[in-house]
């Protein structure tokens, strides 16, 4: 089974058939993770470079684990120990890495568009692991996989994405992917954290978190990105928590079962209280487990290797 592109730059324009292929392949590959020896030879002989120009825990480790589970050769690059520190350009960095004969590149960068730029500099398959505020496609795919595990389908389900939508690449990819798969999406947060024109992606907008909770079947709660925040977008962390924080009291008022999600890392006590994050309604750690399976699926499908024999 092949995807319609040889890169995964985002979920904009990715057809439902491709998303379904990735989610179905991830479901099959996930069974490998429960084996006594969780390793298959599918990507033997394939070399993957993980280029992380921004910090990451979940995405970096799960890509690396996915590559190792598939027997790929992996090389890890981080800015702090590279010649980027000496002023080398991104183009020179990737051309030099490519000269060492690599097949695939996983890239995270603070600037939107870097994964696309890399497709213009190298023949390797490029996978976006998060670019600025633009897209984080594998996060949205693992979120959709986690919801599909719960519901069996995404069609007609209601997902509210709550919090710092303005700075969130996770929101952009989730809206695009969920809408393509027939789900309904609402974004909710303070007016200053909801970008104008977001409705054009197919999302409803609410500025009232209780209304969003009332509407939704699942809440995907976003981190307040303190590192990307210009000053003055909301009065204080305390006020944000009072107006938009997801608390047990708020959920109890809704009198219904909701699925609680968060892409991580969580600011506990800011956008999400600990007792909710660690409750039975939370699938936050399932999301992390599914992250390895989804990244295995993306690597296999883009490589063109056959995973059906595993």
Residue number with CB closer to ligand CP (13 or 265)? 265
Q: How far is the CB of 265 from ligand CP (least distance, A)?
A: 6
Is residue 79 close enough to count as binding ligand CP by CB under 6 A? no
For position 50 contacting ligand CP by CB under 6 A, the verdict is no
CB atoms within 10 A of CB 235: 11
Tokens matching residue 51:
């280029």
Asked if 115 is part of the footprint of ligand CP (rule: CB under 6 A), the reply reads no
| Contact pick of 50, 59, 93, 307 for ligand CP (by CB under 6 A) | 59
Site string for ligand CP, 80-109 (x = CB under 6 A): ------------------------------
Nearer to ligand CP by C-beta: 56 or 78? 56
> Is there a cis peptide before residue 139, judged by omega within 30 degrees of 0?
no
Pick the piece of the chain touching ligand CP (CB under 6 A) from 54-62, 79-87, 99-107, 292-300: 54-62
Look at residues 24, 22, 23, 18 and name the one whose alpha carbon lies nearest to residue 4.
18
Per-residue CA distances from 199 to 100, 131, 136 (Å): 44, 21, 19
CA gyration radius for the chain?
19
SS3 24: helix
Phi, psi dihedrals of residue 35, rounded to the nearest 5°: -75, 155
CA–CA separation, 63 vs 189, rounded Å?
31
Interaction between residue 20 and ligand CP (CB under 6 A):
no
Among 93, 128, 139, 174, binds ligand CP (CB under 6 A): 139
Say whether residue 130 binds ligand CP (CB under 6 A).
yes
Site for ligand CP in 214-273 (CB under 6 A): 263-265
Considering only residues 198-217, where is the footprint of ligand CP by CB under 6 A? Answer: none
Q: What are phi and psi of 109, to 5 degrees?
A: -150, 150
Positions touching ligand CP (CB under 6 A) are 56-59, 130, 139, 263-265
């Amino acid at each position: 089974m092949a995807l319609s592109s040889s890169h995964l730059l985002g979920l904009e324009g990715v057809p439902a058939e491709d998303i379904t292929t990735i989610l179905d392949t991830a479901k099959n590959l996930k069974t490998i993770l429960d084996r006594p020896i969780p390793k298959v030879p599918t990507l033997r002989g394939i070399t993957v470079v993980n280029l992380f120009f921004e910090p990451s825990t979940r995405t970096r480790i799960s890509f690396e684990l996915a590559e190792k589970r598939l027997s790929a050769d992996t090389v890890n690059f981080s800015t702090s120990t590279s010649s980027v520190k000496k002023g080398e350009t991104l183009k020179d960095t990737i051309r030099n890495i490519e000269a060492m004969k690599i097949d695939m590149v996983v890239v995270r960068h603070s600037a939107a568009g870097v994964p696309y730029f890399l497709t213009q500099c190298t023949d390797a398959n490029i996978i976006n692991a998060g670019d600025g505020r633009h897209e984080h496609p594998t996060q949205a795919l693992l979120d959709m996989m986690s919801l599909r595990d719960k519901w069996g389908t995404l069609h007609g389900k209601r997902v509210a994405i709550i919090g710092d939508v303005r700075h969130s690449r996770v929101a952009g990819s989730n809206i695009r992917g969920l809408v393509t798969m027939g789900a309904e999406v609402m974004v909710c947060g303070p007016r200053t954290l909801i970008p104008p024109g977001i409705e054009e992606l197919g999302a409803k907008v609410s500025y009232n978190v209780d209304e969003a909770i009332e509407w939704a079947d699942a809440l995907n709660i976003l981190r307040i990105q303190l590192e990307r925040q210009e000053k003055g977008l909301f009065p204080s962390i305390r006020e944000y928590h009072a107006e938009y924080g997801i608390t047990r009291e708020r959920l109890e008022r809704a009198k219904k079962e909701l699925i609680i999600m968060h892409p991580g890392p969580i600011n506990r006590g800011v956008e999400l209280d600990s007792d909710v994050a660690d409750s039975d309604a939370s699938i936050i750690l399932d999301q992390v487990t599914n992250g390895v399976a989804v990244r295995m699926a993306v690597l296999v499908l883009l490589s063109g290797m056959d995973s059906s024999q595993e």
